[in-house]
Each structure stands twice: as C-alpha cells, then as structure tokens.
Chain A
Amino acid sequence: MSDLFSATILTAVVIAALKMATPLLISAMGELVAQRAGIWNMAVEGTMLIAAYAAYVVVVLTQSPGLALAAAVLAALLTGAINGLLCVVLKLDQFVTGLALNLLAAGLTLFWFRAGLQGEGVPTFRSLSPIVEGPFAGLYPMMFVALLAVPLIWWFLERTRPGLELRCLGENPEALDLRGVDVRRGQILSLLFASAMTGLGGGFLMLAFSDRFVPDFTGGRGWLVVVAILAGNWRPGRVLVAVLFFALLEALAIQSRVGSSLLPEQLLLAAPYLLSLALMAVFRSTSLEPAALGIPYRRR
C-alpha cells in the first residue's frame, strides 16, 4: 500500500475519482428529480447504455464529440419517453417497465454492435479531451457541470415553487390532483429530465473513458446511480457524498490493477455495493424516501 500514498499517485487517484464521479453524478441528479416526483426509474442502466452506444455511433460517423453528446441525450430521451408512456400513462409497474427497457437496451446495443452498424474495423475516434493547462489541468469541463448540478438541484427542490410541487408529486399526488395540477404531465417531465441527464452521463462515459464501445459498456454504473440515491437518502448533498465515495473506490480498484495492493481488485470493485448495503442498514431509521415512490397514481 505504501506506493499508494506517494503524492503523484494520490493526485492521479483523486483526478481519476473525480472523472469516475462525473457520469454517475450527472445521472444521479437527474434520477433524484424523477424519484422525488414519485417515479422509480429502474431503467437507468439501460438508458445509460443506449446513450453511450448512440454517442459511439455518432462520434465515429461525424468525429464530433458535441454531436455525439447530443445524440446520447436524444437516445436517452427516447428511452425515457417510452418508459413514461408505459409506466405513467398506461400505469404498468415501474419495476417491470424498467427491467423491460434494460433488457431491450442490452439486446439492441449488443445486436447493432455485433452487426457492425458502426462500420468495419477499429474506428478512428475523437474523444472528449481534458483541460490541458492551468490549475485545472487534467480535469474535464463536464466535471464542473456535474458538481454545479448538485446545489442547483438542491435549490430547485427545496427553494422553488415548481420544486415544491415536484416533491409533492412524490409524497402526495392526490393533493396536487385535487388542486388541478396535472400529475401525469409533471411525472413525465421529471422522467424525461432524468433520462436526459442519464444520457449526458452515458455520453460522457463513452467519450471520455474509452476509445471504443464494448458490449455491456456501462457495466452496472446505472444501478450504482440508483444505489447512490438510496444510500444518499434522497438528499442531493448526501447523494454527492455517496457518488464520490463509489468513484474513489473504483479509482482505487483501477490503481490496484496497475500498482500493487493488499486488497484484491475484485473486492475494491464490489466494495461500493457491499458498503452501501451496510450504510443503508445502519441509517434505515432516518429514511426520507418519498411516500408515493413507485406507486402509479390513479384517481379514486
């Protein structure tokens, strides 16, 4: 472990952790909004995967990371729209629609990837590049977007009237309905927002982390987002802490692959999952889960 604490490695680990945290955090801030509005979006993993694939295809075709990010967001919005149609309009179980979309996303991306829709051979790839000079060298502009999203989402949820209404969607949709607020519209909009944010995260994951798409590219990061929201007890600040913690563990796991470490890599990779179970077990009494989370709203 000694070489882990030398200054250069420590800096590398912190930068890597911030980079890992970026897609998780962007997606988590979106999903937090959807969950506070009462939507258990289980399709985060699939949405992120579809977005990453869309970013990949577009960046290979156009060599433009900007267009690729836009494609990622669009693909995610489409996934979110389908989910909204199924679970908000048709009131199918949110758990079931989420799983169906995850399966569809895994199947579609794998199928198109194997069929070589992105062209033959190893594609040339222009990825997002980090800031080169100055005090922020090595960091990505998207990191600041992600970090800024946390206070913004907190301010929106806790300090604005639409934010209050949105929270009410998750706590007591009937009260809003009685006051003439369109529950369905609010929930669909929040689901679309969540999907777009996850799309942005998935696009960043593709463009900043890798030079090619591989099957199951997201590898459980979407689920980690859902876990971060639970472990963070539905509060933006705590979700941020959970995400940073997961990202640090993942950065350490990667470091342990390069250097030597006392702990096996697999244990470090599994650590976010194990530790969040422990965290949730300890802090269960203070759960701030929205009361109507996951219950399709039906007028009585």
Chain B
Amino acid sequence: MRLTPRSERAIAWTLGCYAAAVVAFLMLSGLLVLSVGGSPQAAFSALLTGALGGKAAIGNTLAKATPLLLTGLAAAIAFRARIWSIGQEGQMVFGAITGYGAVLWLGLSGPAGIVVALVAGMMGGAALGLVSGVLDVRFKINVIISTVLLNYCVGYLLSWLLQPGVWGDVGQTVSYQQSAALADSLYLPLLPGLAKVHLGAVLALVLTVVVGVTLGRTRLGFEIRGFGLNPRAMVARGVDAGRLVLVVMAASGALAGLAGIGHVLGETHRLRPDALAGFGYTGIVVALIGRSSAPGTLAAALFFGGLAAGGLTMRVVADIPSSLVTAMQGIALIAFLLAEIASGYRLVLPVREEGTPA
C-alpha cells in the first residue's frame, strides 16, 4: 500500500481525510484529559454545554469568537499574499493602547468617544503593521522576525503604561496590572437578546464580508492572491510589489487593532494584558484552519470561540484546566494540516502481477 499524488481532488476521499482528522483531534484531546486523570466524556460534554447549550452559552461563544474573527481576518489577508506576518498579537494590543489613549487624551465620552476610539485603534494597528511593511520593503527585514520583535516590544510598552502614575489603576499589585475603567458611556452597546455579545460582533461580520468581497471580486484582491501564488508574475504584470506589501500590512494591522480596541470597549472596559493576550496568536491558527478565506476564517473563529467558551464551563463542571483548549487548538491545526496534505494523495493498493517477484 502506498500513497501517490492525485491530480484532482476526490470529494469522498477529501471528506474522509477531514473526518479522520476530526477523529484524531478528539482522540488526542481525550488522551490529554486522561493524562491528568480526568474523564474525557465528562470534559467533552461540559465543553459542548459551555459552547452551545442554551442562549447564554451561545452568547459566550459569539463573544469569544468576535476578536478571533478580526485577528483571523487580519492574518488571512496577509497569508493570502504569502506575507508571513505574525504581528496580529502586537497590532491588536497596540490598537487597544492607541484607542484607549485617544479617548483618555481627548477626554471624550459617549458615541463620539466610541467612534474615535475604534478609529484610533484601527489606525494604531495599521501603523504598527506599516512599520513591519516598511522594514520589509525598504530594509529587507524578514516580516516574521520584525513582527515577532514588535509583538514583544508592544508587550513591554503596555506593561510600562500600566505602571502606577502612568495609566495604572490605583491599588493594583505588581503582578496584576490593569488600567482604570472606562466611563459607562464608552461601552460598546450589547446586542439585544444575547448576553455579552457587543456591537463589535456585527462590525466583525460586516468586515468578514468586506474582506471576502475584496479578496474575491476586486482588483486589489486579485493582486493579493496573485502575489501569493506567484509574486514574479505579478511584478511582471506591472504590480508594485512594495506598495502591495504596505497596503496588506496596513489593512491587516487595522483589523487586528480593531480586535484589540473592540475587546476593550465591548468586554473588559479597561486595559488588561491578560484579557488581551493570545487573540493575535490564536487568530493566526484561525486563519490557517480557515484556509485564509473569509468564510473559512468565520467558521474557524466560531469553532475556536466555542472551544474557549466551553473551556470555562469544563473547568467549573469537570475540573479540567481550561488551558486544555490551547493544546486542543494546536492539535486541531496539526490534524487539519495533515488532512489537507492527505487529501492531495491517493492510496494505491499493491497489485501483484504474475511472474514478477513481489
């Protein structure tokens, strides 16, 4: 039995590969639960209840999915152009900082304050994205490296800003940093009927459509996809590669920045490093599992949002640490990548011919 590449995908085989990936994902996650002496059945049923069991659970899932959808879209448009930006984490935090700083500095409140904060957050994220873009275009510094470096720099910047005397809340401890709370009038309005789901979810959905249409139906989208598949051909067609990198990095940064400030205005209502941490990195996985398409990213963000919401219930009900979810995300990505590879191959059963030695 051996594997050979297949020229075109067969639907049944592809579905089989992905089904096998799901089974492997569940089995490995179950093994992890067993490894700490838990019951996989109890853990998974708690996870499912926390993600989908009732209105409150679904609200939690959507709330958790919102920032992931935005950072996922941010990663997706960069990846479509084969620009390996992993700066979503830093851009998201930087967007939260600039948005929060803008309303603080201008002393705004109410809807005007919300709009200014959102715009400032997007601009902050875009600016940081542009820094990596310029470093790549002008100085030939690898985007992976510059974005990783900037992620850590933004982390230190936030930690510095949250000191007492700068933005730090009074009475906080050294190990637990947060800023003062925002005025109530700056909270993003919640959607009626769904607890915890704020206006950011609607914005994220609208932007999913915008990104999808841009990638699929516009000249810019064509250039981005073409650049990802064959940059030389696009340059030969007269596309300005440098400009394209800058546009993509700015747009990607803006989406990530919106994720950050949206989460601050919609959920935490103050700057808290621990509440923001991870959305950027998880967004990368969301985009990779969503094959860097807008609908795929939406589906993956909902899946990961459900995992995150269910993880909290799992901790309470089944006494399994919610960090299982992070490990499950890694397993899901690897299983998915393997399924994607496998779906490009076919299984060939050995045919023994007469007269030839086996």
Contacts and interface: CB of A to CB of B under 8 A. Distances in A.
A270 B326 contact: no
A284 B338 CA distance: 36
Contacts of A267: 156, 160
A138 to B, nearest CB: 28
A117 B152 contact: no
Contacts of B288: 96, 99
B283 to A, nearest CB: 11
Interface string A213-243: 0010000100100110010000000000000
A277 B141 contact: yes
Contact of A104 (B86, B150, B331): B331
Contacts of B157: 266, 270
Interface string A118-134: 00000000000000000
B356 interface: no
B275 interface: no
A58 to B, nearest CB: 16
Given A281-B141, A287-B140, A103 B329 contact: yes
Nearest to B328: A107
Nearest to B340: A92
Contact of B337 (A96, A110, A111, A281): A96
B40 interface: no
Contacts of A154: none
B116 interface: no
B4 to A, nearest CB: 14
A103 B326 contact: yes
Nearest to A273: B149
Contacts of B84: 95
Given A106-B326, A281-B141, A276 B321 contact: no
Interface string A87-110: 000101001110111011111101
Given A220-B152, A270-B153, A100 B334 contact: yes
B144 A92 contact: no
A208 interface: no
A280 interface: yes
A287 B333 CA distance: 33
A264 interface: yes
B36 A112 contact: yes
B342 to A, nearest CB: 9
B152 A273 contact: yes
Interface string B152-166: 110011011000000
Contact of A226 (B145, B150, B152, B320): B145
Given A230-B145, A267-B156, A107 B338 contact: no
Given A99-B281, A269-B156, 7 more contacts: A95-B84, A97-B337, A99-B284, A99-B285, A110-B321, A115-B320, A215-B323
Interface of B: 32, 35-38, 84, 86, 135, 139-142, 144-146, 148-150, 152-153, 156-157, 159-160, 281, 284-285, 288, 320-321, 323-331, 333-334, 337-338, 341
5 contacts: A108-B330, A112-B35, A115-B320, A281-B141, A284-B141
Interface of A: 42, 86, 90, 92, 95-97, 99-101, 103-108, 110-112, 114-117, 215, 220, 223, 226-227, 230, 264, 266-267, 269-270, 273-274, 276-277, 280-281, 284, 287
Top 10 closest pairs, chain A to chain B, by CB:
A107-B327, A104-B330, A107-B326, A114-B321, A115-B36, A266-B160, A110-B323, A103-B330, A273-B149, A270-B156
